[in-house]
Amino acid sequence: MKLALALRRSTALRFPVELGIHDYLRDHSEIDVVSVNGTSSLSWKDALSCDPDALIGFLHQPEHVQQLTNMNIPSVCINSIFDHQHVSCVRSDAYAVGVMAANHFLNLQCEDYTFISDVPNHHYSERRQAGFNDTLKTHGIRANCISSNSLDPAVLWLKKKLADKTRSAVFCVNDLTARALLNLLEPRHPDLEDHLILLGVDNDPFYYDNGAVIFSSIDVNHRQVGYQAAQLVHQQYREKTSPPRCIEIPPLQLVNRYRQAQRLQSRHPAVSQALQIIASEYASPDLTPETLAAKCAISVRSLNRSLKTHDYPPLSRCILNARMRAAKELIERSNLTLEQVAFTVGYREYTTFFRAFKKHEGLAPSSYHESP
């Protein structure tokens, strides 16, 4: 079975989902994953053009579903925001995520409960809000819900809560929203953590600041989503006539995080922006200190100076560290060749990756792969 992975668009989710897919593939050598220019995470166009026997991908556009229907091949949609009648879907159980969030806050006996989303009308936003609200209602509690394309209404609401000195529980639709709220509130509210208990979703490792923990988060188990998607598309390929199905994966766990004793200093906005770009774009070969600084509208020298102020290494090292972390994870847990690993984490040439990896880790990629 020739399998194409149309995963390139959703960079933030691609890595754990792809690991889950390769967890399944390790025990099924009859499945060949298509690679283009050394990487198996393809764009939608490349995935379709390679004439695959089956496809797994992030289907965000209605025309994608129509294209798959016309091709008549087994396909599984990952974490779709739509309900597709003609394509199987595997996604996290957003309602269960909301239930877990509500129970977490109930155990903490908070005085006030708020759900905040900056992606209104999104499937995950609506279902997480529903699970959160329904669980609180069973305890006679009515949650405040703020859903808007802008975070401005949420910031105004939370400033009022901070002024009232209430111990408020704030459930954010994802980690990105939670981090954005902190960036907007922290500069003028140094006692924020004493009054707001913030909870995000995705357990994204980017939202740890230099080892210090920012807020708790729900791990929605993207890796299991990937594994289940691979299993389902393989089943469809073997049975030929399997009807479309939607499988929802329950959240893995709530990861409790607590700040270090010393509060974090407010960061230069360009530092936060740079770290976020690295986290989402490290796999692009075009990401360099120069292109990164340009995106942040600041010089490399000034950005490196700001990074140093906050105890981060220089830009080049930040990019390298992100690529090496990803490479080690892929070497340990996927069945990609070392050349494919190199391309997947942002290197155009394997020799360049080899030298960088050996210098960073003290041993060659092949030796790391063989080590216990």
Instruction: Answer for the pair 197, 105: CB distance below 8 angstroms, yes or no.
Output: yes
- 127-142 pLDDT, tens digit per residue, is 999 999 999 999 999 9
The domain segmentation of the chain, as residue ranges, is 2-93+221-251, 94-219, 269-370
Structure tokens at 150: 């802008």
Question: Can you list the residues of the chain whose pLDDT is less than 70?
Answer: 9-14, 60, 81-85, 187, 190-191, 205-214, 241-243, 257-268, 370-372
CATH for 2-93+221-251 is 3.40.50.2300
Fold designation for 94-219? Rossmann fold (3.40.50)
Residue 84: the pLDDT is: 65
- Of 351, 360, 346, the closest CA to residue 14 belongs to 346
Q: List Cα–Cα distances, 162 to 77, 105, 211, 245, in angstroms.
A: 41, 18, 26, 45
Matching fold, domains 2-93+221-251 and 94-219: yes
Neighbours of 321 (CB within 10 A): 15
- 253-311 pLDDT, tens digit per residue, is 998 765 433 334 445 678 878 887 887 788 889 999 999 999 988 999 999 998 888 77
Close Cβ partners of 23 (under 8 Å, ≥ 6 residues apart)? 223, 226, 227, 230, 333
Residue 263: the pLDDT is: 37
Q: Which CATH class, in words, describes the domain spanning 269-370? A: mainly alpha
